[in-house]
Amino acid sequence: SQKIEQNSEALNIQEGKTATLTCNYTNYSPAYLQWYRQDPGRGPVFLLLIRENEKEKRKERLKVTFDTTLKQSLFHITASQPADSATYLCAHSWGGGTYKYIFGTGTRLKVLA
């Protein structure tokens, strides 16, 4: 069955360092990968989308990569700040009128001051 895994449940890093979160998928090839941020008691907020034919996408201090050979997406936050502390979710979708999104269980990032 289609499965997406975020293999770190929690990640602690020092302020100023680069945080790297991993999303792996098995048994299928999604056309799109999305990353969301979720704060406690809030709904997820969309951050970035990357297509299967794109290797990398950037937005300010955020960078996402998509490696279809490794079946993996990496999400980087450079110069991390305590305000970046949150749970980050990856999601796969297929497009073309298919509305199925598969979400990972999330990685809880804590940036230590």
Partner 1 sequence: DVKVTQSSRYLVKRTGEKVFLECVQDMDHENMFWYRQDPGLGLRLIYFSYDVKMKEKGDIPEGYSVSREKKERFSLILESASTNQTSMYLCASSSGAEGYSPLHFGNGTRLTVT
Decide if residue 101 touches partner 1 (CB under 8 A): yes
With a CB cutoff of 8 Å and minimum separation 6, the contacts of 16 are 79, 80
> Is the CB of residue 86 less than 8 Å from the CB of residue 41?
no
For partner 1, the closer of residues 22 and 93 by Cβ is 93
Quote the distance between the C-alpha of residue 25 and its chain's center: 12
Contact region with partner 1 (CB under 8 A), list: 19-27, 58-66, 73-81, 95-103: 95-103
Q: Under rule CB under 8 A, how many of the chain's residues touch partner 1?
A: 27
**3-class DSSP state of 68:** coil
> Is the CB of residue 109 less than 8 Å from the CB of residue 47?
no
Residues 63-92, interacting with partner 1 (CB under 8 A) = 89, 91
Residue from the set 27, 43, 53, 83 that interacts with partner 1 by CB under 8 A: 43
Footprint on this chain of partner 1 (rule: CB under 8 A): 31-32, 34, 36, 41-46, 49, 51, 89, 91, 93-101, 103-106
